Amino acid sequence: MKVTSIFEQKRVFSFEVFPPKPTTPIAQIYETLNALQDLQPDFISVTYGAGGSTPGASTAEICETLQKKHGINSIAHLPCINETKESVLAKLQDFRARGVENILALRGDRNPDLEPKTDFKYAADLVEFIRENGDFDICGACYPEGHPEAKSLAEDVRHLKEKVDAGVSHLISQLFFNNQDFYRFLEMTDAAGIKIPIEAGIMPITNKKSIERMVSLCGASIPPRLAKLMARYSDDAQSLKAAGLEYAIEQIIDLLEHGVSGVHIYTMNNADVARYITESVRECVKI
Ligand code: FAD
């Protein structure tokens, strides 16, 4: 099913997972999918080479399993920075053969050890290419605080409009910790003429190391209240996790009460965390 049609019916609640590294037993991701199934997300997106990782199972393979075995819609992430037109065509053919209908078209993170290929400079180039070469539902990434390489948030939103015009039908945001940043971003995108659904990306804080790594990778800012929580529980991993989960739940409830189109949880393949958050949010808000 094309996931964009779900936004016409309801507020969307979705998850992100990543393919395990070759050193992790492949069965682990399938256990995670089993555990996520009864939470009935509207879709699960599957990353591709995020943070320069080499996966042990392919994104397309996991998407196919999600759909055929678990009956869950999937979105395959597809970064283009290290691809040629020929290699993207082969991937589109693989998606088609496996019944994958939804693609998150990305430029991808720069890998210092790899010279980027030249066929696709920006995600918008990939969006146009996919549009010309198949009947896929295409999503894009967006950045409530601006993409780290953009000169300003305003400039980033201008480029985002070009990407949407190239054929994107829904957007998923980078993680953020201050909902006010997201609401300001929604006002800016609306004023720029971007009228497609924008899902809010939320990453629950479960440990200090992982959040420091994510924040340094994506440049999300830490609001004072969260910084205080992190400082208070810096030597108490269990309390930090509990406080981090409560923070994420509050963030999500506030977003849903403000009428956002959807919420996308970066699960980090932790089904217990996804379950705790989903069940807690559902006690308060219908999703
Ligand atoms: P683009 O939309 O191309 O934007 C990149 C930069 O170029 C921005 O600064 C933009 O303002 C600028 N720009 C765009 N068009 C122009 C133009 N015409 N002229 C000048 N500047 C321009 N990475 C992975 O490798 N694998 C993944 O699975 C993955 N999943 C992700 C999922 C989400 C929801 C998000 C938010 C990010 C994900 N990423 C992933 C990271 C992403 O690849 C990086 O953030 C990357 O640096 C930018 O990708 P993009 O598709 O947003 O790029």
198 within ligand 1 shell (Cβ under 6 A): no
User: Could you tell me how far CA 171 lies from the centroid of its own chain?
Assistant: 9
Instruction: Report how far residue 287's alpha carbon sits from residue 285's, in angstroms, rounded to the nearest whole number.
Output: 6
Say what the pLDDT of residue 248 is: 97
User: Is the C-beta atom of 163 inside 6 A of ligand 1?
Assistant: yes
Q: Annotated catalytic, 128?
A: no
Q: What's the CA gap between 61 and 267, in Å, rounded?
A: 19
Q: Which ligand 1 atom is the nearest neighbour of the CA of 264?
A: 34
Read off the pTM.
0.97
Low-confidence ranges of the chain (pLDDT < 50): none
Pocket flag, ligand 1, residue 108 (CB < 6 Å)? yes
**Is 185 close to ligand 1, i.e. is its CB under 6 Å away?**
no
Helix axes 271-284, 237-257, angle to 10 degrees: 40
**Residue 201 near residue 175, CB atoms below 8 Å:** yes
What pLDDT, in 10s, does the model give residues 198-230? 999 999 999 988 888 888 888 899 999 999 999
| CA–centroid distance, residue 156 to ligand 1 (Å) | 10
**Could you report the per-residue pLDDT of 90-105, keeping only the tens digit for each?**
999 999 999 999 999 9
**Residue 269 CB less than 6 A away from ligand 1:** no
For atom 2 of ligand 1, the residue with the nearest CA is 123
Nearest CA to ligand 1 atom 20: 159
* Stated length of the chain: 287
Nearest to 201 by CA among 269, 143, 139: 143
Distance 163 CA to ligand 1 centre (A): 10
